[in-house]
Amino acid sequence: MLADEALQATLSSLTSRLVDTFNAGGKVLAGGNGGSMADAMHFAEEWTGRFKKDRKPFPALAMSDPTHWTCVGNDYGFEYGFSRMVEAFAKPGDVVLLLSTSGNSKNLLLAAESARAAGAHVVGFLGRGGGSLAPLCDTVFMAPGETSDRIQEIHMMCLHILIEATEVELGVA
């Protein structure tokens, strides 16, 4: 996997995108279902906390607020949980990172559509061919593997690589 030039090019492109986003005062919104939500939360806290050493925080938010999810789920339906949050917070130039091992969750499809409408750059960390979500993404990181556990492990490893590379480019590593 690490010898895959296309994968390396995708991570390099995403590094540049995050550098540009943070330098322009933009933010990252991240989301996924189940274990992918845990990865989105971990990714966001690496930016607002710290990764390897002290530095200023960068604006990243996991779309994981349980009160939001129960409110939207009750009033609109579970499938609108991400899209409502994207509509509330995403601006042109922001990054909306969606993690999915299948790419077929309705709530993530609606989030991608809302992100595109907001002018945000949609990034999919996907697996198994990307499902219906892949064509809605501006950038796709496709993890090799057939099982959710292995795809999620690859996603998290590559998210860490992405954070470290972005910190180096920002001069804060």
pTM: 0.97
Vertex 128 angle, CA 123 and 130, to 5°: 35
CB 98 within 8 A of CB 88: no
pLDDT score of 169:
98
Please name the residue ranges forming H helices in 3-34. 5-23
Q: Given this model, what pLDDT does residue 82 score? A: 98
pLDDT at residue 80 in the model = 98
Q: Is the pLDDT of residue 1 over 80?
A: no
Q: Which residues pair with 99 in a beta bridge?
A: 32, 125
- Determine contact, residues 129/119, Cβ cutoff 8 Å: no
pLDDT of residue 113: 98
Tell whether the model's pLDDT for residue 4 goes beyond 80: yes
Confidence band for 156, pLDDT divided at 50, 70 and 90: very high
125 three-state secondary structure: strand
All domains of the chain in start order, with CATH = 5-168 (3.40.50.10490)
| pLDDT of 155 higher than 80 | yes
Share above pLDDT 90 across residues of the chain, in percent, rounded to a whole number: 98
pLDDT per residue as tens digits for the range 86-96:
999 999 999 99
Per-residue pLDDT at 158: 97
Q: What pLDDT band is residue 2 in, cutting at 50, 70 and 90?
A: confident
Average pLDDT value for residue range 90-118: 98
d(CA 153, CA 166) in angstroms, rounded, equals 20
pLDDT digits (tens, 9 = 90+) for 50-94: 999 999 999 999 999 999 999 999 999 999 999 999 999 999 999
pLDDT above 80: residue 135: yes
